[in-house]
Amino acid sequence: MFGGDQTTDPAVPRAWKVLVVDDDTEVQAVTRVTLGTLEAEGRPLQLIMASSGAQARVLFQQHPDIALVLLDVVMETETSGLDFVRFVREEMRNRSARIVLRTGQPGETPPLDIMAEYEIDDYRTKTELTYERLTILVSASLRTHALLLKMEAQARVVQASEIRFRGLLEAAPDAMIIIGANGSIELINAQAEKLFGYARAELIGKTVEALVPERLQVTHRHHRADFVERPKVRPMGAGLQLYGRRKDGSEFPVEISLSPLEIEGERVVTATVRDVTARKQAEEELKRARDDALKASRTKSEFLANMSHEIRTPMNGIMGMTELLLDTTLDDAQRDAAETIQYSARTLLTIINDILDISKIEAGMMQVEAAPLDLREIVRRAVQIGREAGSAKSLEFSAAIDDKVPPALRGDPVRLSQVLTNLISNAIKFTERGQVAVSARLVRDTAGEVFVRFAVTDSGIGIPRDVVPRLFQPFVQADGSTTRKYGGTGLGLAISRRLVELMGGEIGVDSEPGKGSTFWFTVRFTRDAAPAQAEAATAATAPTPQAASRWRILAAEDNPVNKMVAQHQLKRCGLQAEFVDNGRDALSALQKEHYDFVLMDCQMPDLDGYGVTAEVRNHDGPNQDTWIIAMTAHAMGGDREKCLAAGMNDYIAKPFTTDALREVISRFEATRH
């Protein structure tokens, strides 16, 4: 090898390697002198000399990056040169090296077919290769070599990209179709073959509408044209039900997403197709299951509503007449019997309310409100109710409220009272002697939210540790014997847990058998701008004698017993009412005479209370703006709202006490001032 060693200095341009193959040493010397100082494209030449075809083979294997070969044809044999060319092109598989034949025998130009077959780039006689011509030939050949290398590199990049693209296409879990701008199918993957039942060769070149049901092909062409005009990644036919067609003609629902793509300067569309038959079937089954569940839920709700109404109607008679009976002169035995009836009726009503509450919670119908409340007054009342309920036992009651608890809060006073009453009632039930202590302390007061922790502690029988995790589940009590000994449905704690969660808190218990229990819960409140007046505003006050004497009251009640109860309760409030037995008579009376307020039963024959109210509100008459109080045994979630939406002004659920009646009448009276 001649021409010096190749430098490794990165600042020095890499030299072109030129292989000179000639058995004439004089030709080699002249070539070395001619090309020794030549530069092409700013790069020097490195000349490598070989005297035979065999030596040239060895050197080419050692230097596979040779750019140019100046090759003698006849050397050790008459075909040595051509044999070397075949070696380079076929065995070494080198197509970028330029090969120029130089022969010393003028007029013996190789035939064109030989030039083409052996991929020889040029042919010159040695005599015509003057200094100028030789340098021009070499420079041009090296430029061509560089261009070929660049093209080969680009081809490799394209090939690698295509391999990767095809690999991704085949690896895709969904059917993939490459579609030309004219709508013809250019490429599909194996999943597409499997999905549509075609072999690739059957689809390539066909329009994509071949995969669309005939009845949808015109619409599909419009969609395709729209996408070609405004290409962007998007689902095709969003909001439409799309279908594909298999080779056998069968149709199936599909989901399609489209992506514009440019391949070798041509804009194409990549379509991803997914068979959604299984999903559609699952959705239909889910819809049927949901419809069945909703139907069952409605049936259950209707049953509970009807049962609630049918139970509350006679319960109103029992509790109302018992209350009236206790207001008369009785001997001790009679009073004891009447109080027992009253206690049993209240217990039964508690059970009914618990069942309704748990049903509303399970149906997602239970909601909490955010109203002004007096937390201290709510705790005081709950403790007072507990003290009265536990009067037969030797129990001490106490309440302690943290001074840091803000006086003005917003929350749900009814549900808070319900949870406190439930826990205090439980404490009384399972404590024979000792004490029941209620406390409330501030946990956190930040960003307008106030968290308060309530606790009810007793000295009762306590709860085994293994029972605690399931204690707040429906129908669970510490053991089976407690139901027989202490009574109850096991719903109170489950209801309390759900109510506390609705109020943004949590509930738990700390207990040890034989040493008592502490049930605690937290509630999230918000601050109120002013101290709550809700409790004072709803305090039951009897109407003044002057007001009672001048009010005209209409009561619509179809049940004879409840009619009698209402008459006596109104009398205890110092009031009298005109009674009608059905909605038609109530409407007739309201169309003729003015009344100050109306007690309206909602469920009556022929025309119910909702219908009467609608007629009164929607037509001019003496009672278009009269205060109407719903007096109904419908006490499910939403019943109060239903009454108010129908145009009624207030609501009282049966069974109710005289005090409860006084309270709703006092709210009416407050509107008269």
Residues 6+ apart with CB under 8 A from 209: 183, 217, 220, 221
What single string gives the DSSP state of each residue in 89-119? IIIS---SSEEEEEESSTT-PPPHHHHHHTT
Strand 516-527 to strand 553-556: parallel, antiparallel, or no bridges (unpaired)? unpaired
CB 251 within 8 A of CB 217: no
Residues 521 and 517: their CA atoms lie apart, in Å, by 13
- 474 band by pLDDT with thresholds 50, 70 and 90: low
CA-nearest of 391, 389, 297, 343 to 636 is 297
Three-state DSSP state, 593: coil
Q: Which letter does DSSP use for residue 184 in this model?
A: B
Q: Which long-range contacts (CB under 8 A, 24 or more apart) does 218-222 make?
A: 221/183
Cα–Cα distances (Å) from 443 to 185, 286, 401, 436, 530, in that order, read 68, 44, 12, 22, 21
Average pLDDT over residues 100-127: 75
Q: What percent of the chain has pLDDT over 70?
A: 88
What length is written for the chain? 673
Question: Is 90 exceeded by the pLDDT of residue 336?
Answer: no
Type of residue at 235? P
The residue that leads in pLDDT, 4 or 75, is 75
- Which pLDDT score, from 0 to 100, does residue 41 have? 84
Say yes or no to pLDDT of 254 above 70.
yes
**Angle between helical axes of 492-502 and 332-362 (0-180°, round to 10):** 50
- Is residue 102 within 8 A of residue 52, CB to CB? The reply is no
pLDDT value at residue 520: 94
Q: How confident is the model at residue 487 (pLDDT cuts 50, 70, 90)?
A: very low
Separation of alpha carbons 497 and 491, rounded Å: 10
Whether the pLDDT of residue 10 is over 70: the answer is no
Extended strands (E) in 116-213: 122-125, 175-180, 185-188
> pLDDT value at position 146?
84
Residues 6+ apart with CB under 8 A from 498: 361, 366
With a cut of 70, say whether residue 473 has pLDDT above it.
yes
Among 578, 580, 555, residue whose Cα is nearest residue 664? 555
Say which residue, 510 or 227, is predicted with more confidence: 510
Mean pLDDT, residues 566-583 taken together: 91
Higher per-residue pLDDT: 233 or 393: 393
- For residue 548, the surrounding DSSP H or E stretch is helix 545-550
Q: What DSSP assignment string belongs to 295-363? A: HHHHHHHHHHHHHHHHHHHHHHHHHHHHHHHHTS---HHHHHHHHHHHHHHHHHHHHHHHHHHHHHHHT
Which tens digits make up the pLDDT trace of 255-275? 888 888 776 667 888 888 888
Which range (103-107, 392-396, 669-673) has the least confidence? 103-107
- Pick from 318, 225, 320, 221: nearest CA to 571: 320
β-sheet bridge partners, residue 361: none
Residue 59 has pLDDT above 80, yes or no: yes
Least confident of 134-138, 343-347, 399-403, 603-607: 343-347
Strand, helix or coil for residue 283: helix
pLDDT in tens, 511-561: 888 889 999 999 999 988 755 444 444 444 555 555 555 789 999 999 898
Dump pLDDT digits (tens) for 227-241.
Answer: 877 777 776 555 668
Tokens standing for residue 217: 């092909």
For the chain, the 3-state helix, strand and coil shares in percent, each to the nearest 5, are 45, 20, 30
Lowest-confidence segment of 47-51, 104-108, 287-291 by average pLDDT: 104-108
- Which has more pLDDT, 203 or 532? 203
The count of other CB atoms within 10 Å of the CB of residue 642 is 16
**Other CB atoms within 10 A of residue 645 CB:** 10
Mean pLDDT check: name the lowest of 154-168, 409-423, 507-521: 154-168
Q: How far apart are CA 435 and CA 396, in angstroms?
A: 4
Strand segments, DSSP code E, in 491-534 are 507-512, 516-527
pLDDT bracket for residue 651 (50, 70, 90): very high
Q: Which pLDDT score is estimated for 235?
A: 66
Query: What pLDDT score does 446 carry?
Result: 86
pLDDT at 479: 46
* DSSP-derived pairing of the beta strands 175-180 and 185-188: antiparallel
* Residues 544 and 673: beta-carbon distance below 8 Å: no
Distance CA 661, CA 48 (A): 119
Mean pLDDT along residues 45-70: 92
The SS3 of residue 73 is coil
Question: Which two three-digit tokens encode residue 103?
Answer: 């022969």
Q: Angle CA(560)–CA(564)–CA(567) in degrees, nearest 5?
A: 135
- Kindly tell me the burial class for residue 165, based on how many C-beta atoms sit within 10 Å of its own C-beta (0-12, 13-18, 19 or more): middle
Cα 656–316–326 angle (5° rounding)? Answer: 80
**Across 324-349, average pLDDT:** 83
pLDDT above 60 (res 92) = yes
The answer for 487, left when phi > 0, alpha when psi is -120 to 50, beta otherwise, is left
Whether pLDDT at 7 is above 60: no
Using pLDDT thresholds of 50, 70 and 90, give the confidence band for residue 300.
confident
Which distant-in-sequence residues (6+ apart) come within 8 Å of 356 by Cβ? 304, 308, 635, 636, 637
- Mean pLDDT value of segment 86-93: 91
The encoded tokens of residue 12 equal 């020095």
Which pLDDT does position 206 carry in this prediction?
92
More confident of the two residues 157 and 184: 184
Give the pLDDT of residue 539. 42
Question: Between the CA atoms of 262, 263, 264 and 265, what dihedral angle is there, to the nearest 10 degrees?
Answer: -20
Q: Is the dihedral of CA 8, 10, 12, 16 positive or negative?
A: positive
Buried b (16+ CB within 10 A) or exposed e, 462-492: bbeeeeeeebbebeebbeeeeeeeeebbbbb
Q: Give the span between the Cα atoms of 375 and 409, in whole angstroms.
A: 8
For tokens 């997602």, name the residue: 364
What pTM was estimated for this model as a whole?
Answer: 0.48
Q: What would the two tokens of residue 89 be? A: 């092109």
Percent of all residues in the chain with a pLDDT value above 90, rounded to a whole number: 30
Helices 560-572 and 277-326 meet at what angle, rounded to 10? 60
